[in-house]
Amino acid sequence: MKAYSVDLREKIVTAHLAQKLSIRTVAARFSVSKSLVQKLVKQQKTEGNLQPKKRGKPQFSHLTNAEVEVRALVADYPDATLVELCELFLQKTGNWVSKTAMCRYLQILELPRKKKLVQ
């Protein structure tokens, strides 16, 4: 569901604060939930704006600024599996990453996960 427009949000908060209408009355008038009205009033008082917040969790990875460490690990241990690389990364930095994250990061760095056999 898309976020409500800033215009509608302002009308809801104005109806409650300026016109002194109860939260339930405002919710019924604008066909929104009571909790939305409470949330908007609180946001206006604490943050001073009614902009919708970004949806979803912020994405964070310990691999974000670890290019040097990962390249060094791959160079030092060329035959290491993904799990072994994750364990070595944990020993080196103190941060655990999943093997999926390690695989994706190796792809971003264009480092092959599978090693070529010398014949």
Domain span holding position 76:
67-108
Q: What is the DSSP string of 24-55?
A: HHHHHHHT--HHHHHHHHHHHHHHS--PPPPP
The answer to whether residue 119 sits within a structural domain is no
| Distance of alpha carbon 72 from alpha carbon 81, whole angstroms | 15
The answer to whether residue 13 sits within a structural domain is yes
The model's pLDDT over 5-31, given as tens digits with 9 standing for 90+, comes to: 999 999 999 999 999 899 999 999 999
The answer to whether residue 113 sits within a structural domain is no
pTM (whole model) above 0.85: no
- Comparing CA positions, the residue from 64, 88, 63 lying closest to residue 74 is 88
The answer to whether residue 99 sits within a structural domain is yes
Are 104 and 74 in a shared domain? yes
The answer to whether residue 61 sits within a structural domain is no
The model's pLDDT over 60-81, given as tens digits with 9 standing for 90+, comes to: 888 888 899 999 999 899 888 9
The answer to whether residue 14 sits within a structural domain is yes
Total domain count for the chain?
A: 2
The answer to whether residue 86 sits within a structural domain is yes
The answer to whether residue 29 sits within a structural domain is yes
Q: What is the DSSP letter of 81?
A: -
